[in-house]
Chains A and B, each alone.
Chain A
């Protein structure tokens, strides 16, 4: 029987799932509700100078990359399996679309964090 390569994607799925389970609710609240509305947090928390400094710091870069990449790899793996659950044939094309998009998003995240500077 052929050994499956699922462990790679499942590992990323697990890491992304754990990270999002622990931090996604508060992240969504902060970036999408609190700061835009000035609710419990100041509006200029995400001002350009602040965020540029954050994203230029190695810790900020690591955090942003980890969140974007692990969230998208988690989603890609689950969405791929859900396609199968709703009756869509999950051949090489489906695999390429799901995991390929995750790779693309990760690459774009990496590029933008590099382009932001140090």
Chain B
């Protein structure tokens, strides 16, 4: 390490269920260079200062979605946030908001994973397709309808940003609804009717109050707020036009 290297105080909200009644802040002085991310700062702590610190990470290049946490109160990927950003020479890190803390910076993600499964996140073909019919063809315009929503890396920053999810975790939430929309908007998919039941429920789009912070924090510009609020229009159409459907099918 060079003489006179800069240091930053990384304040970590620790929580060890076997010994802590409640989370407690522990501060570490970390030497850093301008190219170091918050993740690298945490790795320095674990490697040199305190091996007990727990946090999730993997790709360190903003594509796996593992390292989401609250950095100075904002939901961010620690691999994409740089220590040089913090002029005050201190930064507070905490587990992702609106999720229970399992240990240190590790948030409990069971709820998110359960919700992912519920929306049928896979292509449901409109009609059966034989192998000899070949592959689906899609125009660039058709791709544009859903491509941005397919960029989601499941990092859950949008859930940490969403106060409605924080206030009531029954809300399906921005990321999952964006993924739902990704499939509904795909020209190859015919599963919209199956997914509408969830969309139309209070726990579907109707818990959203268009705060819009989810789209602000998304590292992949998915714009989940758009996915959710567009589907308010779809849901309203479904609500009012259901009596006109053939056979009056609609509950």
Contacts and interface: CB of A to CB of B under 8 A. Distances in A.
Interface of A: 1-8, 10-11, 81, 84-85, 87
Nearest to B202: A4
Contact of A1 (B203, B235, B239): B203
Contact of B209 (A3, A7, A81): A81
Nearest to B118: A1
A87 B164 CA distance: 11
B167 A3 contact: no
Contacts of B206: 4, 6, 10
Interface in B197-226: 197-198, 200-204, 206, 209
Interface residues of B, number: 17
Interface of B: 163, 167, 197-198, 200-204, 206, 209, 232, 235-236, 239-240, 251
The 5 closest A-B pairs by CB, nearest first: A7-B236, A1-B201, A7-B239, A6-B206, A4-B202
A81 B164 CA distance: 10
Nearest to B232: A10
14 contacts: A1-B200, A1-B201, A1-B203, A3-B197, A4-B204, A6-B206, A7-B232, A8-B239, A10-B232, A11-B236, A84-B167, A85-B163, A85-B167, A87-B167
B197 A7 contact: no
Contacts of B209: 81, 85
> What DSSP secondary structure best describes chain B's contact surface?
helix
Contact of A6 (B167, B198, B202, B251): B202
Nearest to A11: B236
Given A6-B206, A10-B206, A85-B163, A1 B198 contact: yes
Contact of B200 (A4, A84, A85, A87): A4
A92 to B, nearest CB: 13
A3 B201 contact: yes
Contacts of B167: 84-85, 87
A51 B245 CA distance: 46
A87 B166 CA distance: 11
Contacts of A84: 167
A3 B232 contact: no
Given A10-B232, A85-B163, A3 B203 contact: no
Given A84-B167, A85-B167, A85-B209, A3 B251 contact: yes
Given A3-B251, A8-B239, A85-B167, 13 more contacts: A1-B204, A3-B197, A3-B239, A4-B200, A4-B202, A4-B204, A5-B239, A6-B202, A7-B239, A10-B232, A10-B236, A85-B209, A87-B167
Nearest to B240: A7
Contacts of A4: 200-202, 204, 206
Contacts of B197: 1, 3
A45 B198 CA distance: 53
B241 to A, nearest CB: 11
A13 to B, nearest CB: 10
B237 to A, nearest CB: 9
Contacts of A1: 197-198, 200-201, 203-204
A51 to B, nearest CB: 36
Most buried by A among B232, B235, B239, B251: B239
